[in-house]
Amino acid sequence: MKRAIYLIVLTAGIFSAFFPCASECAVREKIRAGHKQDYQSIREDTFKNIFRAYLFQHINKKRSDIIVSKFKVSGNRPVPSGRISVQIVKKNQQKLTGYVRLTALVKVNNVTKNRVRLSGWADIFDYVVCARRNIKRGDIVAKDNIYFARKNISRLPKNILSNANGIIGLRLKNNIKAETCLKDWMLEKNPAVEKGDMVTIIAESDFIKISAPGVVLAKGYLGEIVRVQNSMSKKNVYAKVINDSTVMVDF
């Protein structure tokens, strides 16, 4: 009996000598298996499509009107497995033409896992107003001396005019050459009266109407108040411009 007990103890000792961490190793293996996780990546061309889609949506142009070049992706690291979604954010003053920089928030199961920087050059094409022929300073803009041309507005100043509404009847502040794209600062309202113009000054009420000749002392537009000198009394008065030959004072 003693011999049998001895053999059992000896066998246990040999087992522990050769496999000292059998149970501990099994636990460690389970821990490692528990921390193992698959990862996934987003292709660069996928980010480019997202970049272009954002421009289409926020610039409100046709796909043929936007060309993206020199596109770059920075910080595109693998993210854990799960359902991926991408949210584009931009700074409040960030422009969406020319060189554009955006940030893509990569989310897995609605939790942000990475911030990817996207950049590229966006060429935006649109129709702008151009001069059909040479136009002199002081000339009035008419339909027959302008036309629309499709231009890359990303490489043009921001104040380029893309709509003819409201510019017909305005006058040029300086000479411009044919094929020039019109800018808002080139135009001004056409004054109804200019400094030195002779006008009729009218003052009237329900019972009386008085008129006198006068001289305009500063240019003015329809409905504006200008300073006028009464040619008879030589007094200066302020009058509202009614048309190119009449002003009215309060009576």
CATH number assigned to the domain comprising residue 231: 2.30.30.760
Total domains in the fold of the chain: 3
Q: Which residue has the tokens 């991408």?
A: 86
CA distance to 47, 108, 207, per residue, from 42 (Å): 7, 12, 83
**183 plus 158 within the same structural domain:** yes
**86 plus 144 within the same structural domain:** no
**22 falls within a domain:** no
**205 falls within a domain:** yes
Task: Provide the 8-state DSSP code for 125.
Answer: E
**134 falls within a domain:** yes
Tell me the residue range of the domain where 133 lies: 125-188
Enclosing H/E stretch for 135 = none
> Taking the chain, what is the end-to-end CA distance rounded to the nearest angstrom?
138
**54 plus 112 within the same structural domain:** yes
**27 falls within a domain:** no
For 132-183, how does the pLDDT look when each residue is reduced to its tens digit (9 = 90+)?
999 999 898 988 999 999 999 888 888 899 888 888 888 999 999 999 999 9
pLDDT at position 248: 94
**115 plus 57 within the same structural domain:** yes
**32 falls within a domain:** no
- Looking at every residue in the chain, the average pLDDT score rounds to 84
Backbone angles phi, psi at 155, to 5 degrees: -110, 15
Q: What is the CA radius of gyration of the chain?
A: 40
The answer to whether 151 and 128 are in contact (CB under 8 A) is: yes
**193 falls within a domain:** no
Enclosing H/E stretch for 93 = none
For 6-44, how does the pLDDT look when each residue is reduced to its tens digit (9 = 90+)?
433 334 443 344 444 443 433 343 334 344 568 998 999
Which of 124, 139, 167 is at the close of a domain?
124
